[in-house]
């Protein structure tokens, strides 16, 4: 399969998708921390790590309620994939899970780096989407982060998508994390086909079960008007079901990650510098000279040789091309 086809598939399958360096220490972090409930902490960690594995995924999105006059609900969106979720970093209170799509059969196997989810225990800050391809680093109050985990989701090129905080609850073999309301960009399934709303206002829920896990989304599609007003358009429910499987060969995905992991590590580091150590606000262009950032990053990742210094220079150059003033 050629690169054009793979990139098109990435745009089709990319979902809704914290940096590997933690945020800088603030004065609030310097205060003595309360005694950690190690039992609850370890149960939370076990639930997050349980999301790693080999899965068949079912994506199901259905608009349920029209919130604007004369709005007609769109047809449901349903698709599927086979996906490997890999733990790429585990520092105890920080866990990073990289999703890799491995599609097709033995005669036509293709691999696409998918979204990434980073989990931070009791985060001092998160990266929050603000609309119009803008993100902001936001402080989390001490009372809101005690016992909580942040989840920050990244797109296929490791650019940010959204971040939120919530707490895990445990009921027998089932663990559930529910976020506070979180803004996120339009999903790729609608990004190229709709312009009647600008942001999803979402409550995310991750439910880990013995069979796998489910990502539930309670979505409100909102219109961001030029005058600053925010208007609800429609309600939508999303249910992404990850079912563990043993009948699909993910070797190509593991091989891809082994070959390209050093490149993507440099990409994450470049984003870290901008998101956690740069100005509090970040804004990006969607396209530059008809280029898309994920296309440029995929092309660089597929280079057959790796030189760390050259990769840093290439990645920094591309990110600078797409950066704009907030």
Instruction: Examine the pLDDT at 219 and tell me if it is beyond 50.
Output: yes
- β-pair type (199-209, 212-224): antiparallel
- Determine contact, residues 10/294, Cβ cutoff 8 Å: yes
Q: DSSP class of residue 148?
A: -
Residue 200: both structure tokens together: 């999803």
In the sheet where 134-139 sits, what is the strand order? Answer: 125-131, 134-139, 281-284, 323-324
Question: In 3D, which of 286, 282, 236 has the Cα closest to residue 128?
Answer: 282
Report the percentage of the chain scoring pLDDT > 70.
89
**What is the reported pLDDT for 317?**
97
Domain boundaries, the chain: 3-58+75-168+241-324
CA angle at 79 for the pair 76 and 82, rounded to the nearest 5°: 160
Residue 96: both structure tokens together: 């990073």
- Determine contact, residues 122/92, Cβ cutoff 8 Å: no
Instruction: Examine the pLDDT at 14 and tell me if it is beyond 70.
Output: no
**What is the reported pLDDT for 235?**
98
Separation between Cα atoms, residue 242 and residue 228, nearest integer Å: 38
- pLDDT tens readout for residues 88-108: 999 999 999 999 999 998 888
Instruction: Examine the pLDDT at 176 and tell me if it is beyond 90.
Output: yes
Length of the chain: 326
**What is the reported pLDDT for 305?**
83
**What is the reported pLDDT for 34?**
52
The region, left, alpha or beta by phi > 0 then psi within -120 to 50, assigned to residue 218 is beta
- pTM higher than 0.75: yes
Question: Average per-residue pLDDT in the chain?
Answer: 90
């Amino acid at each position: 399969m050629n690169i054009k086809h793979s990139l098109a598939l990435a745009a089709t399958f990319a979902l809704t998708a914290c940096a590997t360096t933690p945020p800088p220490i603030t004065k609030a972090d310097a205060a003595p921390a309360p005694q950690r409930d190690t039992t609850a902490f370890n149960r939370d960690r076990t639930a997050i790590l349980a999301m790693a594995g080999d899965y068949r995924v079912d994506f199901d999105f259905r608009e349920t309620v029209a919130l604007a006059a004369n709005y007609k609900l769109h047809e449901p969106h349903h698709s599927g994939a086979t996906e490997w979720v890999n733990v790429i970093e585990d520092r105890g209170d920080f866990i990073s899970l990289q999703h890799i799509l491995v599609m097709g059969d033995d005669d036509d196997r293709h691999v696409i780096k998918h979204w990434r989810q980073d989990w931070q225990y009791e985060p001092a800050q998160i990266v929050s989407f603000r609309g119009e391809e803008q993100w902001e680093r936001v402080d989390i109050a001490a009372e809101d982060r005690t016992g909580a985990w942040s989840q920050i989701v990244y797109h296929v090129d490791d650019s940010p998508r959204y971040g939120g905080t919530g707490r895990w609850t445990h009921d027998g073999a089932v663990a559930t994390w529910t976020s506070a309301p979180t803004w996120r960009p339009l999903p790729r399934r609608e990004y190229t086909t709709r312009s009647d709303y600008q942001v999803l206002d979402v409550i995310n829920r991750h439910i880990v079960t013995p069979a796998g896990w489910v990502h539930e989304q309670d979505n409100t599609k909102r219109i961001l008007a030029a005058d600053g007003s925010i208007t609800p358009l429609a309600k939508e429910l999303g249910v992404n079901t990850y079912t563990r499987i043993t009948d699909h060969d993910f070797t190509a995905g593991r091989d891809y990650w082994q070959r390209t992991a050093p490149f993507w590590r440099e990409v994450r580091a470049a984003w870290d510098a901008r998101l956690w150590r740069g100005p509090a606000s970040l804004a990006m262009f969607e396209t530059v000279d008809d280029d898309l950032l994920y296309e440029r990053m995929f092309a660089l990742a597929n280079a057959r040789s790796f030189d760390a210094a050259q990769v840093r220079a290439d990645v920094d150059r591309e990110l600078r091309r797409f950066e704009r003033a907030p």
